[in-house]
Amino acid sequence: MAASFFSNAIHVDFDSVLAMDEPGMVSMFQALVASGLQGFLGCSPVVYEDALVEFFANGRVRDGLVVSSVDGVFVAISEKLFAETFELPVDGLGDLSEMPKDAIFDARSIVSLSGEPISLSGRKNQMKMPFRLLCDIMAKAISVKAGSFNAITVEKFSLITAVFCKIKMNWAKFLFSILKKMVSAGSKQAKGFAIQISLLLASFPSLELGESCET
């Protein structure tokens, strides 16, 4: 079903959230802006459902590109196009396994509601409220993983650490690798990036996308 392709879509209205009278929340969203993810998370929340269904049905990876056909039109998305469209950083860590262990150690206390280092196999209610929201954003909009969004995982926590501890990330490489998994046969990666893929498809002038809806 088309809905499964964008059930995890999250659009962040940065102007609104940065004007909130909640210092903790504002600080968290300022960290997202500083990370370079504003263009990815805050892009226009328009979704082309029918085009997305076709994109995923016909999508595959070829020579490092994500390729597909929509309404009979061939489309190819490169990491460079992906990075430029969302103004993503292209320098820094490209894999979460490279995350400095001391940063993760420090973050376990920074985000903790009790002040004690949280468990990386615990629940997000161990975190202060802004970090619970950040955990949701990382899980749904970035890593696009199926399963419980209440559970903390090493991957989610590494993403939180990257943002709030200002770890330089090659977000273009990291996010494009997830997109490639989405269209790879046999991959268990959940489908996502509905808003972002819709924006990418809209950049192809010969493509008729049909009706759109807002998330």
Own/partner contacts of 57-62, CB < 8 Å, gap of 24 or more, are 59/182, 59/183, 60/183, 60/184, 60/185, 61/180, 61/183, 61/184
Angle between helical axes of 194-202 and 79-86 (0-180°, round to 10): 100
Q: Is the pLDDT of residue 4 over 70?
A: no
**Per-chain mean pLDDT for the chain:** 89
Residue 21 bridge partners (DSSP): none
Higher pLDDT, 191 or 37: 37
pLDDT at residue 189 is higher than 90: no
pTM here is: 0.91
Q: Which of 46-60, 77-91, 113-127, 134-148 has the lowest mean pLDDT?
A: 134-148
Contact present, 60 and 50 (Cβ < 8 Å)? no
Domain ranges of the chain: 2-205
Q: What is the pLDDT of residue 133?
A: 92
Q: Which of 194, 192, 197, 193 is nearest to 207 (CA)?
A: 197
CB 149 within 8 A of CB 140: yes
So what's the pLDDT on residue 7?
58
Query: Confidence class of residue 141 from pLDDT cuts 50, 70 and 90?
Result: confident
pLDDT at 209: 80
**Cα end-to-end span (Å), the chain:** 16
Beta strands 213-214 and 46-47 are antiparallel
**pLDDT at residue 1 greater than cutoff 50:** no
